[in-house]
Structure 1
Amino acid sequence: MKLLDQITSYAQGLPLALKVLGCSLCDRNADYWTDMLNQLKKFPNEEIQEVLQISFRGLKDNEKDIFLDIACFFRGRGKTFVRKILESCGFTVVSGIENLIDKSLITLTRDNRLEMHDLLQEMGWQIVRKTSKEPGKRSRLWEQKDISHILKWETGAQEVEGIFFNLSGLEEMNFTTKAFSQMTNLRLLEIYRSNLRDTGGKMQCKLHISDDFKFHYDELRYLHWDEYPCESLPSDFESENLVHFCMPRSHLTQLWKGQKVFGHLEFVDVSYSQYLKKTPDFSRATNLEVLVLKGCTNLRKVHPSLGYLSKLILLNMENCINLEHLPSIRWLVSLRTFILSGCSKLEKLQEVPQHMPYLSKLCLDGTAITDFSGWSELGNFQENSGNLDCLSELNSDDSTIRQQHSSSVVLRNHNASPSSAPRRSRFISPHCTLTSLTYLNLSGTSIIHLPWNLERLSMLKRLELTNCRRLQALPVLPSSIECMNASNCTSLELISPQSVFKRFGGFLFGNCFKLRNCHSKMEHDVQSVASHAVPGTWRDTYAIWHPNVAIPFSTVFPGSEIPDWFRHHSQGHEINIEVPPDWYINSNFLGFALSAVMAPQHDSRAWCMYCDLDTHDLNSNSNSHRICSFFGSWTYQLQRTPIESDHVWLAYVPSFFSFSREKWSHIKFSFSSSGGCVVKSCGFCPVYIKGTSDEGDYSSGIAFDEPRRHAAKPSRISYQ
């Protein structure tokens, strides 16, 4: 049976392969099967390959090249990435890929990656191998032994178009100019280590590169070299055709010297190149779209030409900790993502663009920026209405925001003395049209009041306010809010009762001990969420991450008592309820409200609440469900927010979320908390429609605990 599984696995469900192998193995003994399987692993079945090649032979030359590049180099890579590289090679890629998909030679995954059957990849490999017995005369090289051979014996010829060399497992390797001297048509070069993580980032293979090392760049489109060991590139390194340049963790101190022609260069990534001291002259790389300098900890000088890259879409300089100055960036009008997080010595941005219509992410956390007088768009939305409509993320973590004058915003380190802190932070004008902002991070600031018109940010989904220890009140928040973390806001006293939360989400008020109106506010929020909950916005959105876990609307705040509107409560971590036959009426039952009081222990680090729901129906059938308080990045937030005393967890789970519609006779809720917290008490409350309600005020039609025998029609609840 094991051999059969191995043969089936080799065929991967391909009908042709199963048919051919079945004919070969029929009436044979186990030893024959074992021998055949070993041969297949070394040498693919010729009959299968011959039939598969019928489809390949019917392709146009352009499509054959695309197929072979994918089989040898780009299987599993993103379609957009591959398209860009292969188009730069002169291939007609869009129609070519579509034809390959139509002929079932390649497939497209859900996340838009190019895949193919193992046997089809083997066919591609065999086609390349059969072009020559000598590896140095083949168009594509991907096997370690073949590449090692041609580098050792310097047999690479002009037929070589691509090399993808995995250094993992090699102890020593020589790179000489002579070994590459005949490869005049090289267009794809990647040198990497597949076991990078397993080796702790230490180079296992010792590379010997001659001082005069160079290779042919004229036809080069794609260059990726992990941990490039030299301090500089070859002196004549220049390529009009190069599109993609990637040398992460390199030993480079600079890229190229002087002006070099890189007319088609679109992507540069030298992240974590800790010896890099300055950027090159980009004045002849005017098509550059992506520049990644993340983790270049010794970078001190940025060439002024960077500020004139008008097509630049992404600029990532995260954790360039020695960078003190940026040149004028006034011409970076195409920027969508601008990351300066962790540039702790950077104090100023000067001459920024007056119009940045595409900016969607701006990260300035961890910088020393104190002056934004040149950036009027961040300081005065009234004068520049609409210029930042595409801004979807503003991160000013660990900074102090204050209004300096009508056209500037000042950011300072959050350790500023209380006397210098602002009385009010007003950075959104009454005419703000920041309609695309979805993420706002003000964590660690000395802000006292949020802007009164924060509710104008109609697309805002996530609000981070952690460690805003001077924040006293929350104004009316946008109804679009899904997640908010206000933990450790120790001065927070009030949450506007006019804020209406209609969406799935989580709201953290850990260690906010001055909150006064939390119990009544949260009761109102449960009513609001219950009346607006619909399957499409709750269950479907998160099922792909947690198909077996119900994730409710959930909130946490200081307290040691289950809210008084919970009629069913119990000491300890469990509550058992025997329900009457009519408790569940389809037309008016909405869901459950759950609550638990948790207490930290001496070794408490953080927490995450879980609830196991066990049910029995009238026929004694049982079922179980797990309800989790938060998920994904929120779990990480909780790990950073240990609670200091008793806290109340309150959640709402709609009836359509993972629960069957059988009539239950008995329900048991079991609560538990991770991270060293214990559950002291717990409660459960069914939520129903009650009577009729005015249109638009759905929460007035919500009742806790009592079912109605003559329920209102479902149409009285408006799902929005």
Structure 2
Amino acid sequence: MLSLNGSKLKNLPVKTFHCLAHLTDLRLYNCGEMIDKSKLLILFRALTSLRNITLDGSSKLTKLPKNVKRLQWLEKLSLRNCTSLQSLPRLPRSLEKLDAANCSSLKIWLPQKIMQGLMHPSIGYLRNLRKLNLSGCQQCLLPEYMDFLSSLESLKLEGIDVKSLPTTIKHLLNLKYIDLTNCQSLCSLPELPPFIQQVKATNCILLETGVPSITYTQQLNFLYLENCSKLDEQSLSNLAECAYFSLKRRAYTNERGGVCYPGQNVAEPFKDNLTTEASNFITIELPSPANNLAGFIVYSLLPQFIPEQSAQNHLECQIFYQDGMKGPRLIFDMSCTELNSHHVFLWCDYAVFTKYEDIKYNPKISFEFSVTYSDGVLRITRNDCSIQACGVCPIYASEYHSFLEQKKLMGTRKKTTEIMEFARFSLKREKRGHFETSIIPKWFAHQRSETESSCIRISVQLLPGDETSSIWWGFIFCFYIPQFSLKERDRSHSRSACYWEDRFYKEGPKGWHYSMIKWNSDNVFLWYDPFFNESVIDFVERKGSMPKSEIFKQVLTFEFEFGDCLIKECGFRLMYESEYKQFLQENKMKLE
């Protein structure tokens, strides 16, 4: 790596760089007038092994030389604060990260014909780009076609002057994060990709439409709409219900989540559980045994406030047990420093609740809410922002199965009932019998037995199937639990997880045993979970960062535990689209 700070240099001797042909990382900061197109032409001609180029603060740079496209190993290009930069030439296909934040003169960052919609870019152009930052590029234009950025995961457009986003953004299936903060001309949002995880639209003061449907996207964790004051009452009412539904899903799948929006509308489950003790303190009695508890969704209402000093704000919810001991602390990181009106904040966290694992009565739990900020060392409670109301909604594992079957459950590949019908149909047709000394049918293809530990693991190698069945629809399990009873079901916790080599680890839903369905015995069960399926299969299909031929050499390991009950046998079956279509045809059903 070669790193130079231009503020300490009088001249940049680019002609001497020819001896650094194997240099991979070049960082030139604040070089001002010392960096121009002609000097970069010489540099790029000599340094053909570069993987990382940083030219931040080159304030006189107006264009990059065209030979930048010949840097075939280039992965990262940073041009932050190059305030005179007007356009970018064709960039190398290898590029994974482009950071052009605060390039205030930049208008064109793609070839001219693509920007004008006269040519759809080939699938090869920028196909490896994962992160794109155009924040602060107020004049920057977005192309009509964005679907060619097929690997894009993060898109930062903070402060750009656009009224709407291209509709083709919905085809960016890898996009997880989009930042539209301070896009003050933005009026509407199009349909976003189904796997988006975080949307920031703070201070989009003209935003009116396209918001409620976002909360139904499959993987959405956080939605920030602070100071979006143009949202109408109907949108806010719909948003309140959608947000509750989305966060309930997060609670069941062991993930953090949060939604904030202007107004005072909250979903019905909170209206019966608002504070009566103080505006920031509430105590509830759990209406069913605590062993059944999967988590909480918490709610706070904040008034308009302008802080005494600007800082990153946090909403905190400290849990107290009945004996006065502190429990987990649930934290929501706010994305703005001030609020222009009343705002609702809803959030959940993957905190572990272990205090009442063996308690059979219904304990009381208290929640204290506060707004804090960090001084760099400590978190300090804000005295200039009061919480006007708060509420808590417990989430129970026993309600998980009915939650999966709700009509408004959108985005999942197939509902549990449909998959179970398919499994029962296939098992009844199965003529290969069972695994040796096992009650697991051979239809499940993989089987594992356990005789001692309460935790069972089953490892499977993914198989591609034939050309007509290569589209995965999910996986289903079969369990044999000799000691299962309704008493054990209600007093025991269950956990599950999946891991793939060192690339991926995913916890399964809390209380998964409540969604098992009996099969031919009181101790044999089928289990399918659409959320768990989506997170695992989508990772394998979209995030493996390897060719499919390599994916099929990898091994997935699933882990299950159900209290002290021995899961004696476990079967696994990977399902394909062609199988399900055949099932529908044979049963004269219509494919949705």
TM-score by length of 2: 0.59
Match of 1:292 in 2: 27
Residue of structure 2 aligned with 1:565, choices 269, 277, 301? 269
Q: What SS does the aligned partner of 1:570 have? A: coil
Structure 2 residue 365 is the aligned partner of structure 1 residue 553: no
Post-superposition shift, 1:685? 1.5
The 5 Å alignment of 1:192-591 reads 267-281=1-15, 282-301=17-36, 302-303=38-39, 304-308=41-45, 309-328=47-66, 329-350=68-89, 352-353=90-91, 355-372=92-109, 374=111, 382-400=120-138, 411=140, 426-429=143-146, 432-499=147-214, 500-503=216-219, 505-516=221-232, 517-531=235-249, 538=255, 552-566=256-270, 567-570=272-275, 572-579=278-285, 582=288, 584=290, 586=292, 589-591=293-295
Query: Is contact 1:610–1:673 with CA below 8 Å preserved after alignment?
Result: yes
Match of 1:626 in 2: 329
| Structure 2 Cα separation of the partners of residues 392 and 378 of structure 1 | 19
Query: Is contact 1:534–1:719 with CA below 8 Å preserved after alignment?
Result: no
Match of 2:584 in 1: none
Q: 1:271 to 1:480 in 2, by over 3 A?
A: farther
Query: Is contact 1:592–1:685 with CA below 8 Å preserved after alignment?
Result: yes
| Structure 2 Cα separation of the partners of residues 533 and 610 of structure 1 | 17
| Structure 2 Cα separation of the partners of residues 658 and 556 of structure 1 | 29
AA aligned to 2:327 is: S
AA aligned to 1:453 is: T
| CA shift digits 1:154-192 (9 cap, x unpaired) | xxxxxxxxxxxxxxxxxxxxxxxxxxxxxxxxxxxxxxx
Quick one: percent identity of the two aligned structures?
21
Post-superposition shift, 1:428? 3.0
Q: What SS does the aligned partner of 1:642 have? A: coil
| CA shift digits 1:301-325 (9 cap, x unpaired) | 3522223233211110111223344
| Structure 2 Cα separation of the partners of residues 658 and 470 of structure 1 | 48
AA aligned to 2:28 is: L
Post-superposition shift, 1:717? 5.3
| Structure 1 Cα separation of the partners of residues 283 and 196 of structure 2 | 34
Post-superposition shift, 1:680? 0.8
Residue of structure 2 aligned with 1:615, choices 310, 316, 321? 321
AA aligned to 1:668 is: S
| Structure 1 Cα separation of the partners of residues 402 and 342 of structure 2 | 38
Post-superposition shift, 1:360? 2.9
TM-score by length of 1: 0.50
The 5 Å alignment of 1:40-51 reads none
Q: Which has the higher contact order (CA 8 A, sep 6+)?
A: 2
Query: Is contact 1:341–1:367 with CA below 8 Å preserved after alignment?
Result: no
Match of 2:471 in 1: none
Query: Is contact 1:494–1:515 with CA below 8 Å preserved after alignment?
Result: yes
Post-superposition shift, 1:690? 6.3
| Structure 1 Cα separation of the partners of residues 306 and 212 of structure 2 | 35
- Structure 1 unmatched ranges of 5 or more: 1-266, 402-410, 413-424, 539-551, 703-708
Match of 1:53 in 2: none
| Structure 2 Cα separation of the partners of residues 361 and 696 of structure 1 | 42
| Structure 2 Cα separation of the partners of residues 318 and 483 of structure 1 | 27
Q: What SS does the aligned partner of 1:467 have? A: coil
Query: Is contact 2:244–2:267 with CA below 8 Å preserved after alignment?
Result: no
Q: 1:665 to 1:378 in 2, by over 3 A?
A: same
- Structure 2 unmatched ranges of 5 or more: 373-381, 417-489, 492-510, 517-527, 533-592
Query: Is contact 2:299–2:344 with CA below 8 Å preserved after alignment?
Result: yes
Residue of structure 2 aligned with 1:665, choices 338, 347, 363? 363
Q: 1:295 to 1:457 in 2, by over 3 A?
A: same
Matched residue count: 398
Query: Is contact 1:510–1:557 with CA below 8 Å preserved after alignment?
Result: yes
Query: Is contact 1:597–1:648 with CA below 8 Å preserved after alignment?
Result: yes
AA aligned to 2:227 is: N
Larger radius of gyration between Structure 1 and Structure 2:
1
Q: Which moved more, 1:480-489 or 1:325-334?
A: 325-334
| Structure 1 Cα separation of the partners of residues 48 and 407 of structure 2 | 50
| Structure 2 Cα separation of the partners of residues 694 and 504 of structure 1 | 17
| Structure 1 Cα separation of the partners of residues 55 and 347 of structure 2 | 40
The 5 Å alignment of 1:138-217 reads none
AA aligned to 2:78 is: I
Query: Is contact 2:226–2:343 with CA below 8 Å preserved after alignment?
Result: yes
Post-superposition shift, 1:673? 0.8
AA aligned to 1:486 is: A
Query: Is contact 2:251–2:297 with CA below 8 Å preserved after alignment?
Result: no
Query: Is contact 2:307–2:338 with CA below 8 Å preserved after alignment?
Result: no
Structure 2 residue 447 is the aligned partner of structure 1 residue 646: no
Q: What SS does the aligned partner of 2:346 have? A: strand
| Structure 2 Cα separation of the partners of residues 524 and 659 of structure 1 | 31
Q: Which moved more, 1:464-473 or 1:662-671?
A: 662-671
Post-superposition shift, 1:534? 6.0
Post-superposition shift, 1:330? 3.2
Query: Is contact 2:29–2:55 with CA below 8 Å preserved after alignment?
Result: yes
Over the aligned positions, Cα root-mean-square deviation in angstroms equals 3.5
Post-superposition shift, 1:593? 1.7
